[in-house]
Amino acid sequence: MINLAGLGRTMAATAIILSAVMVPTLRAQDVTDEQLKAARGAIEAIAATNGFDNILPSLAERLKTTLIQSSPNYEDLITKTVDAKALELAARRADLEREAATIYAKTFTVDQLNAITAFYTSDAGKKLLNDGPIASREMVKAADIWASGISRDLNAAATKELNATLTAGQQPIEGATTTPPAQ
């Protein structure tokens, strides 16, 4: 009986592992070459994966720092070894590009991807990519200033109205409850 229970757990674990490995493979087959080509064009046009270029170099630098801290006498050896291994792994960057293209291909239609590419390779699209972050940052600053002004004005107007109501001995607004001050 105990052996059967262990076998059941093993079978369940195997099924979970196989589903985790096979499902992404099956999903990747849903994407056509045309979709991937259009997705790669859109990704290139918007520079969607350019920020990923620093992942491997950053990881290599972090590893070198950690290893050198624990073995400072081997700094040169550590640096050479980690740099060599990082260069060997650099080819795997294409895997990330493929995954990004697959994600875009599943998210957008071919026509949408082509429209994205057309826009972002136009002068207006290039301008948006280049100056959009600056404009967004300035809009956030403007919204913060506006919110501060609105908060100030709301506070002043509400306080003025409440003070006028309370000092004039007027009756409170219908439905509002008043609590006498504690003495």
Tell me the per-residue pLDDT of 49-75, one tens digit each, with 9 for 90 and over: 999 999 999 999 999 999 999 999 999
The pair of structure tokens assigned to 155 is 């506070």
Give dist(CA 92, CA 87) in Å, integer.
10
Give dist(CA 14, CA 8) in Å, integer.
10
Q: Where are the domains of the chain?
A: 34-121, 123-164
Q: Read off the pLDDT of residues 97-156 as tens digits, 9 standing for 90 and up.
A: 999 999 999 999 999 999 999 999 999 999 999 999 999 999 999 999 999 999 999 999
Calculate Rg over the CA atoms of the chain: 31
Work out the angle at residue 117's Cα, subtended by the Cα atoms of residues 89 and 96, and round it to the nearest 5 degrees.
Answer: 15
Which of 35, 168, 167, 165 lies closest to 176, judged by CA?
165
